[in-house]
Amino acid sequence: MAKVVFKNATRIYPGTERPAVDNLNIEINDGEFLVLVGPSGCGKSTSLRMLAGLEPIDGGQVFIGERDVTHLAPKDRDIAMVFQNYALYPHMTVADNMGFALKIAGKPKDEIRKRVEDAAKLLDLMEYLDRKPKALSGGQRQRVAMGRAIVREPQVFLMDEPLSNLDAKLRVQTRTQIASLQRRLGVTTVYVTHDQVEAMTMGDRVAVMKDGVLQQIDSPQNLYDQPSNVFVAGFIGSPAMNLCSAYVRDSGVEVGGAQIAVSADILAEARSRGLTEVTIGFRPEDMQLGEGMAIAIEFVEVLGVDAYVYGTIETTHGQQNTVIRTDGRKPPKAGDTIRVNVKDGHIHVFDSNTGERLGK
């Protein structure tokens, strides 16, 4: 087990100007589960592949433990890539399916059996070790495939969208399994996904990337509560945070015909940056009915205990689509206009030029 460090790591694909990964600096702690997340083309897979040795590193360094692995071949890095391609061998027992890579690596029989049994205990597969894969359920087969990576006892697990190929039900199931297994094993894990729900539910920390640049690396809670810029604010959370422009006033900001209180230091920071307008953000779940912003309702989606209200508010730049969550038992109706307040402390304010968060 080891910590992993990206130090100013950069990858520029031949024939392109903009780096695919630009000066990446991340320290992943020993035993940590780090998720790299971002939209397609953000550099998350490239970063993982740089760590795996599948992409040359054009600038900076990558360390696994104390070793500088920047120029090492993939097989010398002591990592295990866990891909979605899990073919099990029908004539071999579950134990052999899990341990065959060790046999190829020339490990002694006793050691192979011990490692396979240790993994099988973790994976709840002990009683199946001498059976053929045919006798297993889909979920158990997935676990055998995971067992293959576990028995190799690598320093780091790398997983590149390992669940994207599964159907929705198996995906949620396997997600939970991988996360709990990783915690029991305590092996440093770097996991790539485009799905922010997956990122938020699995990672100890989540690194959000965009255009090859790390936007923020933080615990899921902090990413949600304190997004460091407009991109992270909009990317993390489902439904997404509402973002709109608002005027800077003496004691707050003004939008949708209402003033929203904002702390004095945020307002001071906005003024010191010479801003008369800012971008504000509020999550659908951080709203309550009151005397604040006016929302013209277009559509209401009732999901039982909650209802999502889709409507528009008037902003400095015209009408803006907005989603808020309300009580599903007493939902407002389409066509109505309601007034809502942002719950105390749940307004996010960003520099409308740079997108940066105001008031850390």
Residues lying near another protein in the complex (CB under 8 A): 13-15, 52-56, 73-75, 81, 83-92, 96, 100-101, 103-104, 164-165, 167
| Shortest spacing between CB 173 and another protein, in angstroms | 16
Closer by beta carbon to another protein, 46 or else 322: 46
Instruction: Give the contacts of 280 (CB within 8 A, at least 6 positions apart).
Output: 243, 244, 245, 246, 253, 255, 260, 347, 348, 349, 350
Q: How far is the CB of 118 from another protein (least distance, A)?
A: 21
Interatomic CA distance for residues 124 and 147, integer angstroms: 10
Contact 162, 84 (CB under 8 A): yes
* Shortest Å, Cβ 341 to another protein: 38
In the bound complex, what is the minimum distance in angstroms from residue 264's beta carbon to another protein? 48
Six-digit token string for 333: 């109706």
**Least distance to another protein, CB of residue 235, Å:** 19
- Between 74 and 186, name the residue whose CB sits nearer to another protein: 74
HSE, side-chain direction, 13 A CA sphere, residue 121 = 7
**Based on CB atoms, which residue is closest to another protein, 49 or 325?**
49
CB of 233 to another protein, least distance (A): 27
Q: What is each CA distance from 91 to 94, 110, 127, 137, 170, in whole angstroms? A: 9, 22, 18, 16, 25
> Can you tell me the distance from the alpha carbon of 281 to that of 245, in angstroms, rounded to the nearest whole number?
9
User: Between residues 141 and 249, which has the closer beta carbon with respect to another protein?
Assistant: 141
Cβ proximity to another protein: between 49 and 357 the closer is 49
Which residue's CB is nearer to another protein, number 82 or number 293? 82
Distance CA(227)–CA(289), nearest Å, equals 25
Residue 159's Cα: distance from chain center in Å?
13
